[in-house]
C-alpha cells in the first residue's frame, strides 16, 4: 500500500502488471511462432533502450567533465570547437540522425564486420545515445553552473577541496542524482520511442536492400510486419463494425500486443517520470 | 500572544519542524526574540500570525487545529491592524508593481505621512533618492537590500500610525523578522528610535526577531527608560525539533562584552602573512583602504601571524569582494598583495591560487552556511576532500567538533545530513571546515551570522585560540560592537 501512494511506484507496478497480464493472455491465445517473436521483440527493445540509458549517462557525464575542463582553461578555442560539435549533433533531428546511423549499422552487417548479436545491440544503442546525449549533458552542465553561481562551489574550492570531488561528488552525486535519474527515466522513454519509430520506418520502407532478419527483432520492426499491419487495420475496422471487437483479442493478438506494449510502455514511462519529479519536487 | 502559555506545534508528516509548549509574549509591550537561525523563530511567528498554509503542514496552536485557529476573530484583528515585516525583503515586494503602488496598497493607502516616515528611516539628504526608488519596479539588485528593508519598515510604520492612540487597538500585532539584517548600525538605530517613539504613543504589541545582540547595548544606552516595557527572550533547542522560549538575560551579554573588551590582547607581532596594497580596482570602481573612519589616512592592509584584523565598511561597499580578491575568486583590474611571502597581482593566474593558496596559505569562511555547505552531505563528508590528503577518523572529528558543539556527539551526529542541522550548527561546521586545516590566513565573512549568544561566544573563543596559535585572521562583519570590542584599534581598517 505504501508503494501505491507514490505516483511513480504506482505506475511501475501498473506497467509490470499489465505486461504480465498481456503475456499470460498471449501465452493462452497467441500462436507459438508469433509469441516467440513478440517476446523477442519486447526483450530486444527493452535491452537496447536500457543500454541507451547507460551509454547516455556515461557519455553525458564524460561530456560534462570535458566541457567543464575546457571552460576553465584560459584558451577557449577547444571549448568553442567542442560546443560547435555538440550543437551540430543537437541541430540534427534525433530520428534523422538515428536513421543515418542505422545506414552505417546495416553496412557493418552487410560486410560481415559485425556478426555478434551483443555487439550489434551495443552499436545500435551507441548510435541512438549519440543523439540523446545532449539532453543529459545539458542537465548536468546546468546543475554545475547553478552551483557555481552560488557560494557553494567557491566556499569548497577555497578550502582546497579538489574540483573533481566538488563536481562529481557534491554537485552531481549528492545534489543532482535525483534530477539525473529523472532525466534517465525520460531517456528510457525517448529510446523506446525512437527505436520503435526508426525500426518501423526501416522495416516498412528503407530496407528493401537489407535482409530484415539481419537487424534484431524489435517492437518497431514487428509492428511493420504484414501480420501486425493487418491486426492494426482490424482495429480500424472495429470502429465501423463494433461487433468485431471480440476478435481483436483472439485473432489479431500479435499486432494488438505489439501496439499495446509500445503505447502503454511510453504512457507508463511518462507517468513514472512525472510521478518521480512530483515526489522529489524537481 | 496575551501572556498565557500558547502551545504551538508545526510538523510535516512524522517530522517535528518546531514545537514549543509556550510561545507567548506580553501584550502591548515590545519583545526582542533571539535564537540561532533555523531554530524556528520565523516559522512559529508565522504560525501564530496565521500566515502558514494548513494544507502543507500539520499545525496546532493551543488546543486548536490550524484551520480552526485561522477562523477565530482574534487572528483577523492581528493581521488587519498589525503588520508582518518579512526577513527577506525581496520576497515581500511584488516585482510587477511599482514600489510607490505597493507602499500605498490596501490598508496602508494614502500618502499623508509618508515623507515624515522616510525622513525618519533615511537621512534627510537621502529622501530625494527615496523618491526615485518609489518609481521603480523592484528587481533583485535595485533597490538595494537595505533600501528594500527600509521600504518594508516604512509600510509597517504607516500601519502603526493607523492605530488609534485612544482607545488602544489592543489586538494589533507587529512582527519584525530580522528588520535590521541589511541595515548599517546608523539606520538600525534610526529604526529603533522610531519604533520606540511610536510605541510610546500607541503602545502596540511588537515582536522583533533578531540575531543582533548589539541591539541590547543600544537600548540600554539610549532607551533605558523603556526597559520595563521591553523583554528579551530566546528560543532554545530541546531536541527533535522541540524548542523552549526562555528569558534572555541582557546582563549576560553586556557583562561578556565588557569582559571581552577589557581582555584585548597585545598583538603577538609575528611575520607578515598578508600585505594588501591600499588601492585596488574591480568592476571599474576604485577602492581604498584607510586607517580612519574619515578615510584620510590611506594605508596598506597588513596582517601578521597571530593578529586579528577587522575591516569595516557600510554594507554594499565591497568587503566581501575584497575577501574574494584576496582568495583569487574575483580578478581585480589592479591590485597587489604579498601572501605568505609570495607576490600576487592581477596578473597572477588562477592556477596559482588553486595550487598554492586555497586551503594551504589561506582559507575563507563564507557568510551563508546554507550556501557554503553541501546540505545533502553528512557531517563526516563535509570534512572529506580537504587538502594535504588529510582524512579524519571519527574519533578525531568528534573530539574536534566537541570543542564548539554542545551535547553528546556520536556516530549518529557524524552521519546526519547537514540539511537537518540547525542554522547555528551549520554555521559552526562552516567555520570548522576551514579552521581544521590551520592555514596561515583565515578570512571570516560574517562569522557570527545566524548564531545564538552561546555559540557566538564559543566561536569567538575559538578564533582567539586560533590567533594565539599563530593564525592571521581577517574579519569582515557588520557586527561592529562585538568586533570593536574584540579587535585592537590599530588592527581596524576602513574600506571605501
In a domain, residue B255? The reply is: no
DSSP string, B135-180: TSPP-SSSS-HHHHHHHHHHHHHHHHHTS-TTTT-TT-EEEEESTT
| pLDDT tens-digit readout, B439-485 | 999 999 988 888 888 888 888 888 888 888 889 999 998 888 888 88
Burial class (CB in 10 A: 0-12, 13-18, 19+), A102: buried
Total structural domains within chain B: 2
Phi, psi of A113 (to 5 degrees): -75, -35
Chain B: closest CA distance from residue A174 (Å): 6
Taking only the tens place, the pLDDT of each residue in B74-102 is 777 777 788 999 888 777 888 899 988 88
Assess whether the previous peptide bond of B167 is cis (omega < 30° from 0): yes
pLDDT range class, residue B138, cuts 50, 70, 90: confident
Reply yes or no on whether the pLDDT at B375 is more than 90. Answer: yes
Of B194, B214, B248, the position where a domain reaches its end is: B248
Window B:335-374, CB contacts with A under 8 Å: 349, 354, 358-360, 362-368, 371-374
CB pair distance less than 8 Å for B385 and A169: yes
Smallest Cα–Cα separation from A270: which of A148, A187, A209?
A187
Of all residues in chain A, the percent with pLDDT exceeding 90 is 59
Considering the domain architecture, whether residues B295 and B370 belong to the same structural domain is answered as yes
CATH superfamily membership of A2-279: MetI-like (1.10.3720.10)
pLDDT band at B286 (very low <50, low <70, confident <90, very high): very high
pLDDT digits (tens, 9 = 90+) for A183-192: 999 999 999 9
Helix H or strand E encompassing B308: strand B308-312
Q: Is the pLDDT of residue B398 over 70?
A: yes
Residue B157 lies in a domain: yes
Give φ, ψ of B277 to 5 degrees. -65, 150
* DSSP E strands, B170-298: 173-177, 205-209, 230-239, 242-247, 272-276, 279-282, 285-290
Please check whether residue B254 lies inside any domain of the structure. no
Query: Would you state the pLDDT for residue B449?
Result: 82
What percentage of chain A reaches a pLDDT higher than 70?
A: 95
pLDDT at A272 exceeding the cut of 90: yes
pLDDT confidence band for A214 (50 / 70 / 90) = low
Segment (H or E) for B443: strand B441-445
Residues 431-450 of B with CB under 8 A from A: 433-434, 437
Give the model's pLDDT for residue A28: 93
User: CA separation (Å) from B140 to B118, B314, B478?
Assistant: 22, 19, 21
Cell of A195: 527505436
Residue B5: per-residue pLDDT = 61
Domain edges within chain A: 2-279
Q: Is residue B489 part of a domain?
A: yes
Between A220-229, A236-245, B330-339, the lowest mean confidence (pLDDT) is in: A220-229
Residue B258 lies in a domain: no
Closest CA to A189 of A96, A129, A265, A94: A265
> What's the full length of chain A, in residues?
282
Do B233 and B346 fall into the same domain?
A: no
Which of the two residues, B245 and B408, has the higher pLDDT score?
B245
Lowest mean pLDDT among A81-85, A122-126, B199-203: B199-203
Structural domain harbouring B99: 8-248
Question: pLDDT per residue over B173-227, tens digit each?
Answer: 899 998 988 788 888 999 999 999 999 988 889 999 998 899 999 999 998 888 9
Question: Residues B216, B313: one domain?
Answer: no
Same domain, B241 and B381: no
Q: What confidence tens digit (pLDDT) does each residue in B434-444 have?
A: 988 889 999 99
The answer to the question of residue B133 being in a domain is yes
Q: Which residue carries 553586556 as its cell?
A: B254
**Whole-number Å distance between alpha carbons of B157 and B155:** 5
Give A144-190 pLDDT, tens digit per residue.
999 999 889 999 999 999 999 999 999 999 999 999 999 999 999 99
User: In terms of Cα–Cα distance, which of A199, A180, A64 is closest to A128?
Assistant: A199
CB of A152 closer than 8 Å to CB of A82: no
Question: Least CB-CB distance to B371: which of A151, A161, A175?
Answer: A151
Across chain B, mean pLDDT equals 87
Place of cell 525618519: B120
> Cα(B433)–Cα(B363) distance, rounded to whole angstroms?
9
CB contact under 8 A, A158 and B327: yes
Domain boundary among B248, B283, B312: B248
The pLDDT score that the predictor gives to residue A200 is 86
Query: For residue A257, how far is the Cα from the chain centroid?
Result: 20
Contact check, Cβ <8 Å, B437/A160: yes
For residue A222, how many C-alpha atoms fall within 13 Å in the half-sphere facing its CB? 28
Q: What is the C-alpha to C-alpha distance for residues A96 and A102, in angstroms, rounded to an integer?
A: 10
Asked whether residue B149 falls in the same domain as residue B112, the answer is yes
Q: Residue B48, Cα to own-chain centre: how many angstroms? A: 23
pLDDT-derived band at A10 (thresholds 50, 70, 90) equals very high
| Shortest Cα–Cα distance, B241 to chain A (Å) | 23
Residues B303 and B206 in one domain: no
**Average pLDDT for B131-160:** 85
Residue B253 lies in a domain: no
Boundary (domain end) residue, out of B248, B278, B295: B248
pLDDT in tens, B310-352: 999 877 788 899 999 999 999 999 999 999 999 999 999 999 9
Based on the domain organization, do B288 and B204 belong to the same domain?
Answer: no
In this structure, are residues B368 and B426 in contact, taking their beta carbons and an 8 Å threshold? no
Kindly determine whether residue A158 and residue B387, on different chains, have CB atoms separated by under 8 Å: no
Report yes or no: B377 and A174 within 8 Å, Cβ to Cβ. Answer: yes
Mean pLDDT score of chain A, rounded to an integer?
90
The residue among B113, B165, B122 whose CA lies nearest residue B144 is B122
- pLDDT recorded at residue A267: 96
Name which of A187, A197, A182, A202 is nearest A49 in CA terms: A187
Identify the CATH number of the domain in which residue B447 sits: 3.40.50.300
Confidence of residue A277 (pLDDT cuts 50, 70, 90): very high
User: Which pLDDT value is given to residue B445?
Assistant: 92
Chain A: nearest CA to B368, how far in angstroms? Answer: 8
Question: Residues of A62-71 as b/e, b for ≥16 C-beta within 10 angstroms?
Answer: ebbbebbebb
DSSP type of residue B453 = H
Kindly state whether A89 is in contact with chain B, defined as any CB-CB distance less than 8 angstroms.
no
What secondary structure does DSSP assign to B37-63, as a single string?
A: TTSSHHHHHHHHHT-S-TTTSEEEETT
Q: Is A161 on the interface with B (CB under 8 A)?
A: yes
pLDDT of residue B238: 83
**What residues contact residue B177 under an 8 Å CB cut-off, 6+ apart?**
B41, B42, B45, B84, B85, B86, B87, B209
Question: In chain B, what percentage of residues exceed pLDDT 90?
Answer: 39
Closest by CA position to B426, among listed B462, B474, B382, B467? B382
pLDDT in tens, B414-436: 999 999 887 788 888 999 999 88
Q: How confident is the model at residue B167 (pLDDT cuts 50, 70, 90)?
A: low
In angstroms, rounded to a whole number, what is the distance separating the alpha carbons of residues B235 and B473?
A: 31
Q: How confident is the model at residue A205 (pLDDT cuts 50, 70, 90)?
A: low
- B391 and B489 housed in the same domain: yes
pLDDT-derived band at A206 (thresholds 50, 70, 90) equals low
- pTM of the complete model: 0.82
pLDDT at B231: 94
Does residue A239 belong to the interface with chain B, where contact is any CB pair within 8 Å? no
Question: What is the per-residue pLDDT across B240-274, written as a single tens digit (0 to 9) for each?
Answer: 788 999 999 999 999 988 888 766 655 566 889 99
Q: Rounded mean pLDDT of B14-27?
A: 88
Do residues B214 and B177 both lie within one domain?
A: yes
Average pLDDT over residues A72-97: 91
pLDDT, residue B249, reads: 94
Mutation for B interface: A153, A156, A159, most B CBs within 10 A: A159
Answer whether A160 sits within 8 Å of B367, measured CB to CB: no
Residues B231 and B280 in one domain: no
CB distance A151–B377 less than 8 Å? no
Q: Could you tell me if B285 and B407 lie in one domain?
A: yes
Which secondary-structure segment (H or E) carries B303?
strand B301-304
User: In chain B, which residues have their Cβ closer than 8 Å to the Cβ of A152?
Assistant: 371-374
Amino acid at each position: 500500500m505504501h508503494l501505491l501512494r507514490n505516483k511513480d511506484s504506482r505506475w511501475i507496478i501498473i506497467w509490470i502488471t499489465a505486461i504480465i497480464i498481456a503475456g499470460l493472455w498471449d501465452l493462452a491465445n497467441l500462436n507459438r511462432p508469433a509469441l516467440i517473436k513478440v517476446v523477442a521483440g519486447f526483450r530486444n527493445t527493452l535491452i537496447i533502450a536500457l543500454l541507451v540509458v547507460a551509454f547516455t549517462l556515461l557519455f553525458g557525464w564524460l561530456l560534462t567533465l570535458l566541457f567543464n575542463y575546457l571552460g576553465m582553461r584560459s584558451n577557449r578555442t577547444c571549448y568553442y570547437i567542442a560546443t560547435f560539435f555538440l550543437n551540430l549533433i543537437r541541430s540534427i533531428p534525433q530520428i534523422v540522425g538515428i536513421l543515418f546511423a542505422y545506414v552505417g549499422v546495416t553496412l557493418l552487417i552487410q560486410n560481415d564486420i559485425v556478426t555478434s548479436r551483443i555487439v550489434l545491440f551495443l552499436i545500435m544503442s551507441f548510435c541512438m545515445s549519440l543523439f540523446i546525449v545532449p539532453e543529459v549533458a545539458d542537465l548536468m552542465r546546468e546543475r554545475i553552473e547553478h552551483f557555481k553561481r552560488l557560494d557553494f562551489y567557491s566556499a569548497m574550492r577555497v578550502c582546497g577541496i579538489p574540483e573533481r570531488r566538488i563536481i562529481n561528488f557534491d554537485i552531481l552525486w549528492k545534489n543532482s542524482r535525483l534530477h539525473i535519474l529523472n532525466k534517465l527515466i525520460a531517456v528510457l522513454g525517448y529510446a523506446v520511442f525512437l527505436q520503435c519509430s526508426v525500426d518501423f520506418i526501416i522495416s516498412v520502407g528503407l530496407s528493401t536492400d537489407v535482409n530484415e532478419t539481419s537487424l534484431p527483432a524489435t517492437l518497431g520492426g514487428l509492428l511493420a510486419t504484414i501480420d501486425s499491419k493487418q491486426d492494426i487495420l482490424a482495429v480500424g475496422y472495429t470502429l465501423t463494425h463494433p461487433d468485431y471487437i471480440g476478435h481483436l483479442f483472439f485473432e489479431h493478438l500479435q499486432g494488438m500486443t505489439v501496439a499495446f506494449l509500445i503505447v502503454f510502455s511510453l504512457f507508463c514511462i511518462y507517468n513514472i517520470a512525472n510521478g518521480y519529479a512530483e515526489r522529489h519536487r524537481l | 500572544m496575551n501572556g498565557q502559555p500558547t502551545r504551538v506545534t508545526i510538523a510535516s508528516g512524522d517530522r517535528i519542524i518546531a514545537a514549543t509548549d509556550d510561545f507567548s509574549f506580553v501584550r502591548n509591550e515590545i519583545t526582542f526574540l533571539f535564537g540561532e537561525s533555523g531554530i524556528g523563530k520565523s516559522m512559529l511567528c508565522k504560525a501564530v500570525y496565521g500566515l502558514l498554509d494548513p494544507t502543507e503542514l500539520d499545525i496546532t496552536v493551543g488546543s486548536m487545529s490550524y484551520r480552526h485557529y485561522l477562523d477565530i476573530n482574534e487572528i483577523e484583528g492581528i493581521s488587519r491592524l498589525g503588520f508582518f515585516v518579512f526577513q527577506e525583503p525581496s520576497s515581500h515586494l511584488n516585482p510587477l508593481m511599482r514600489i510607490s503602488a505597493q507602499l500605498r496598497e490596501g490598508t496602508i493607502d494614502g500618502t499623508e505621512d509618508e515623507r515624515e516616515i522616510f525622513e525618519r528611516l533615511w537621512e534627510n539628504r537621502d529622501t530625494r533618492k527615496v523618491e526615485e526608488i518609489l518609481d521603480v519596479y523592484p528587481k533583485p539588485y535595485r533597490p538595494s537590500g537595505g533600501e528594500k528593508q527600509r521600504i518594508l519598515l516604512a509600510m509597517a510604520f504607516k500601519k502603526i500610525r493607523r492605530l488609534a492612540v485612544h482607545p488602544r487597538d489592543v489586538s494589533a500585532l507587529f512582527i519584525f523578522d530580522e528588520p535590521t539584517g541589511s541595515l548599517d548600525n546608523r539606520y538600525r538605530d534610526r529604526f529603533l528610535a522610531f519604533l520606540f517613539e511610536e510605541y510610546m504613543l500607541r503602545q502596540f504589541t511588537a515582536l522583533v526577531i533578531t540575531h543582533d545582540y548589539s541591539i541590547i547595548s543600544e537600548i540600554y544606552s539610549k532607551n533605558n527608560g523603556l526597559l520595563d516595557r521591553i523583554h528579551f527572550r530566546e528560543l532554545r533547542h530541546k531536541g527533535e525539533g522541540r524548542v523552549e522560549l526562555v528569558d534572555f538575560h541582557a546582563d549576560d551579554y553586556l557583562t561578556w562584552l565588557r569582559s571581552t573588551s577589557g581582555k584585548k590582547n597585545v598583538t603577538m607581532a609575528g611575520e607578515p602573512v598578508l600585505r594588501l596594497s591600499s588601492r585596488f580596482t574591480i568592476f571599474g570602481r576604485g577602492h581604498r583602504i584607510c586607517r580612519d573612519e574619515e578615510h584620510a589616512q590611506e594605508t596598506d592592509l597588513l596582517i601578521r601571524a597571530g593578529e586579528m584584523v577587522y575591516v569595516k565598511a557600510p554594507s554594499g561597499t565591497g568587503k566581501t569582494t575584497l575577501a574574494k580578491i584576496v582568495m583569487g575568486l574575483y580578478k581585480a583590474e589592479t591590485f597587489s598583495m604579498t601572501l605568505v611571502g609570495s607576490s600576487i597581482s592581477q596578473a597572477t593566474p588562477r592556477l596559482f591560487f588553486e595550487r598554492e593558496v586555497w586551503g594551504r596559505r589561506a582559507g575563507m569562511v563564507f557568510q551563508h552556511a546554507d550556501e557554503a555547505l553541501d546540505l545533502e552531505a553528512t557531517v563526516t563528508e563535509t570534512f572529506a576532500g580537504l587538502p594535504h590528503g588529510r582524512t579524519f577518523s571519527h574519533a578525531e572529528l568528534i573530539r574536534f567538533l566537541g570543542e564548539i558543539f554542545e551535547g553528546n556527539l556520536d556516530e549518529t551526529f557524524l552521519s546526519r545530513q547537514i540539511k537537518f542541522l540547525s542554522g547555528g550548527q551549520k554555521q559552526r561546521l562552516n567555520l570548522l571546515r576551514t579552521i581544521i586545516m590551520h592555514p596561515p590566513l583565515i578570512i571570516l565573512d560574517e562569522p557570527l551570522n545566524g548564531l545564538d549568544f552561546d555559540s557566538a561566544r564559543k566561536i569567538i573563543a575559538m578564533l582567539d585560540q586560533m590567533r594565539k596559535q599563530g593564525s592571521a585572521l581577517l574579519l569582515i562583519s557588520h557586527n561592529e560592537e562585538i568586533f570593536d570590542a574584540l579587535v585592537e584599534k590599530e588592527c581596524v581598517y576602513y574600506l571605501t
